[in-house]
Amino acid sequence: MSVAYVDTSSLVAISFAEPGYVELADRLDSYSRLLSSNLLEAEMRAAFARENRVFDPRRLLGLDWIIPDRPLSLEFSRVLDIGYARGADLWHLATALHVAREPQDMAFITLDDHQQDLAGRLGFDT
């Protein structure tokens, strides 16, 4: 089973047909399971509102939501020990760490260069 954690930037790029979105969509289709934090929905809705576009919740179909049942303090520290991350990026990285038994066994898909660098340094396949 191939698993990927999906950051909001990826789904926004696909939704808005940004350059390279077809290849990105194909890459996401290659995974048997896609995970994300439910923060993704808030970020997606905000992006659609910013662009004055109607959000269709079906864009979120196929995602398995990771909703931690405890504070992610250990994961936050682990990320921040290797570098600074903005709040939402920190949350996504920490959530991915929370669910990954071994980061190298899961991909972290993002279009944010800094977040991608941190994910790679944490051991995720980027």
What pLDDT does 38 receive?
94
Q: What is the pLDDT of residues 42-87, one digit of tens each?
A: 999 999 999 999 999 999 999 999 999 999 999 999 999 999 999 9
Burial class (CB in 10 A: 0-12, 13-18, 19+), 14: middle
Residues written for the chain: 126
Question: Looking at residue 112, what is its pLDDT?
Answer: 97
Q: Give the number of other CB atoms < 10 A from CB of residue 95.
A: 23
The answer to whether 6 and 35 are in contact (CB under 8 A) is yes
What percentage of the chain reaches a pLDDT higher than 90?
98
Residues 6+ apart with CB under 8 A from 64: 33, 34, 35, 36
Q: In the chain, pLDDT over 70 holds for what percent of residues?
A: 99
Q: What is the fold, at CATH topology level, of the domain defined by 3-122?
A: Rossmann fold (3.40.50)
Q: How far is CA 2 from CA 6, 20, 74, 87, 111, in A?
A: 13, 22, 25, 27, 20
Total Cβ atoms within 10 A of residue 123: 15
Q: Is pLDDT of 1 > 80?
A: no
Q: What is the pLDDT of residues 23-38, one digit of tens each?
A: 999 999 999 999 999 9
- Is residue 6 over pLDDT 80? yes
- Calculate mean pLDDT across residues 5-32: 97
**What pLDDT does 101 receive?**
86
Q: Is the pTM of this model over 0.85?
A: yes
The domain spans of the chain are: 3-122
